[in-house]
Structure 1
Amino acid sequence: MELMIYLAGEIHSNWRQQIKEAAKKQDLPFVFLGPMEDHTRSDNIGEEILGKQPDPVLKDDAASSINNLRTTILLNKADVVIALFGLQYKQWNTTMDAASALALQKPLILIRPKELHHPLKELANKAQVVVETPDQALQALKYIIEA
């Protein structure tokens, strides 16, 4: 059984690549989806498509509308969502993606360190599974496809 997995979370570290490589090594039938990982492209996509915007706020609005389109389509295609919350980066987009996944009734695996237990307690309570590492999230998905 092939699973389509949306990887929500910060785009600055290589956590997605770690999951993808581990899944490939284990020959797991997973297809991974996610946000645009090229931060510059994500910030500039509105102007690439709609043309130069008159100020930074409108530039952000133009980019966010196109990024939100991408996210909505890919979240709808996903069978499950993994949302990673780390300590290093601000997590507003991760929170939005996790909440959107729940609103779409997509199963949610939340990855968060113990240090973030308190600020994420309500979201964690809505997730199907809460783990501390990407490897644990992958193990949970691997269990789903076992015979």
Structure 2
Amino acid sequence: MGWNIYLSGEIHTDWRDQIKTGCAQRGLSVSFSSAVTDHAASDAAGDVLGDEDRPFWRDHKSAKVNAIRTRTLIEKCDLAVVRFGDQYRQWNAAFDAGTCAALGKPYITLHDDTLIHPLKEVDAAAMAWATDVEQVVDMLVYLTTQD
């Protein structure tokens, strides 16, 4: 069975590539999807709908356009990995985790132990909490290779 894994969360490190590489090295039958990780492109997603005088309305339109992609990909995934980094607050990642929970999609959170308290509700709904990419890859090996 080929699994579709949705990778959500921070965009400032190469954690997505590390997971993809680790899964490829282990020969897993998985595919990956993600939100748009180019920050400028994501911010401009709604610009096709016309210019805005106020930043709020530009952000509002872009959020709605991005939500089309995000919700569709989460609905189609078998499992999501939601990464929270320490450099920025990832409100979008928390929203993605909530979407997964509402849709009954299993998800794994990925963050260090400094975020245990702020993410307690997000982690409580997760199927697992990983502290590093290797743990995620090891879980994917187990999940996708057992008969």
1:126-141 map, 5 Å: 126-141=125-140
Contact 2:6/2:34, CA 8 A, preserved across alignment: yes
Tell me, in whole angstroms, the C-alpha distance in 1 between the residues paired with 2:145 and 2:55: 49
- The corresponding residue for 1:61 is 60
TM-score norm. by structure 1 comes to 0.94
Written as runs of structure 1 = structure 2, the 5 A alignment for 1:98-113 is 98-113=97-112
* Gapped regions of structure 1 (runs ≥ 5): none
The list of structure 1 runs, each at least 4 consecutive aligned residues, that deviate by more than 3 angstroms after superposition, is none
| RMSD, aligned CA | 1.1
Structure 2 length-normalised TM: 0.94
1:27-42 correspondence runs (5 A)? 27-42=27-42
Q: What residue number does 2:15 align with?
A: 15
Aligned length: 146
Q: Distance in 2 between matches of 1:41 and 1:86?
A: 20
One-letter identity of the residue aligned with 2:118? P
Q: Work out the CA distance in 2 between the residues paired with 1:122 and 1:72.
A: 21
Distance in 1, matches of 2:27 and 2:51, equals 44
Shift of 1:54: 2.5
Shift of 1:91: 1.4
The one-character-per-residue Cα deviations of 1:10-49 (angstroms, maximum 9, x if unpaired) are 11211111111111122211110111011111111111x2
Match of 2:44, SS? Answer: helix
Code of the residue aligned with 2:129 in structure 1: it is: V
Name stretches of at least 5 consecutive residues in structure 2 with no aligned partner.
none
